[in-house]
Structures are given as C-alpha cells and as structure tokens.
Amino acid sequence: MNDPQALKERLEALRLEHRDLDDVIRRLTENDRHDRLQLQRLKKRKLLLKDQISTIENLLIPDIIA
C-alpha cells in the first residue's frame, strides 16, 4: 500500500472517523449517565486512529536529507 493516492484516500477516511469519534465522545460526556466502558473504548479507538494518521502522514512526506 505505497500508492500515494491510496494512502491519501485512507488518510482522509481515518480523519473522518477521528472527527466522528470526537462528536460521539463529546455527546456521551454531555450525558450524566454515560457508559464509562464505552467511552474508554471510543477514546482508545480515537488514539489508535491518531497513530495511524501520523504513520500515513509520515509516509506521504518525502525524506529530506540534511
């Protein structure tokens, strides 16, 4: 999966899911009776997505020789 176009598409999908999780987490925390386990899982998924986003962004940035 080193095709730049495929990486860009995957990156956009991951960013979209990350934003969606932000919204879900925000709505859950506004509710006093939220499920802590569900919230914890969503936050963990969000961190995983952030790591994947960073990895793909690093693949798309060309190496610069100092």
Q: Residue 23's domain spans which residues?
A: 4-60
Is 25 inside a domain boundary? Answer: yes
pLDDT tens-digit readout, 8-48:
999 999 999 999 999 999 999 998 888 899 999 999 999 99
Assess if residue 29 is contained within a domain. yes
Tokens of 66: 């100092």
pLDDT of residue 61: 86
Contact predicate 43/25, CB 8 Å: yes
Q: With contact defined as beta carbons under 8 Å apart, do 56 and 14 qualify?
A: yes
Q: Is residue 66 part of a domain?
A: no
Q: How many domains does the chain have?
A: 1
Residue 1 has pLDDT above 70, yes or no: no
Q: Is residue 12 part of a domain?
A: yes
DSSP, residue by residue, 6-44: HHHHHHHHHHHHHHHHHHHHHHHHHSTT--HHHHHHHHH
Residue 56 is assigned to a structural domain of this protein: yes
